């Protein structure tokens, strides 16, 4: 799958269950919400930076806006 997103709303159109956070971060639910993936987008350059991958309980212990 290839996509070129220019803003968080375009990400939500593709992944309705994604959560939009501040600081250009998006949280994706994986495997029925058992795991979480936090990425930081650079929409201009079409880059993503993986900030966190872990279980839901591990996610609850971090600050996804700043990690």
Q: How confident is the model at residue 2 (pLDDT cuts 50, 70, 90)?
A: confident
Contact between residue 58 and residue 65 where contact means Cβ atoms under 8 Å apart = no
- Calculate ∠ Cα 11-37-54, nearest 5°: 170
Q: For residue range 13-66, what is the model confidence (pLDDT) as tens digits?
A: 999 999 999 999 999 999 988 999 999 999 999 999 999 999 999 999 999 999
| 22 contacts: CB under 8 Å, gap ≥ 6 | 65
Q: Are residues 19 and 11 in contact, defined by beta-carbon separation less than 8 angstroms?
A: no
- 0.85 cut: is pTM over it? yes
């Amino acid at each position: 799958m290839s996509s070129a997103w220019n803003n968080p709303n375009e990400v939500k159109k593709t992944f309705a269950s994604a959560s939009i956070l501040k600081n250009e971060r998006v949280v994706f639910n994986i495997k029925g919400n058992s795991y979480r993936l936090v990425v930081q987008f650079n929409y201009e350059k079409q880059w993503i930076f993986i900030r966190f991958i872990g279980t839901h309980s591990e996610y609850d212990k971090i600050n996804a806006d700043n990690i």
